[in-house]
Amino acid sequence: MSVSHVTTHILDTGAGRPAAGVAVVLLKNDGGTWLELAKSITDADGRAKDLGPEQLEPGHYKLNFATGSYYAGLQTATFFPEVDLVFEVTGPEHYHVPLLLSPFAYSTYRGS
């Protein structure tokens, strides 16, 4: 299997481990409408490497993370039932969009 143009890695910083089993959806903005391109579930290492094709057209994309379901499975309350990260693809290089997550905070950055 080849790696998709966009990948993600979720670390549960509150628990100090990867966030396994989180549903992730990749969407593309098409004239103001978000179109679903791919779905994945993070593996035991908290990674999703199969989010769509090897190459995407330039444009605005969004990763939607089902964080509420993840924390419900851990029987942990969370302030964020889902997290949306919107970013821009401008070229052919790989885009890695990590999510650092805890029940009441999250952050992200452009990974490599």
pLDDT per residue as tens digits for the range 22-35: 999 999 999 999 99
Which whole number is the average pLDDT over 85-107?
Answer: 96
Dist. CA 18–CA 70, nearest whole Å? 12
Tokens of 82: 């889902």
| Residue 90, domain member (yes or no) | yes
User: 16 lies in a domain?
Assistant: yes
Whether residue 1 is contained in a domain is answered as no
Alpha-carbon distance of 103 to 110, in angstroms, equals: 22
pLDDT over 80 (residue 108): yes
Residue 29's domain comprises 6-104
Return the CATH number at 88.
2.60.40.180
Burial of 54 (0-12, 13-18, 19+ CB in 10 A): exposed
Confidence of residue 54 (pLDDT cuts 50, 70, 90): confident
Residue 112 lies in a domain: no
Query: For the residues 44-54, what does the mean pLDDT come to?
Result: 92
Looking at the structure of the chain, the number of domains it has is 1
pLDDT at 95: 94
Average pLDDT over the chain, rounded to an integer = 95
Decide the pairing of beta strands 99-102 and 23-30: unpaired
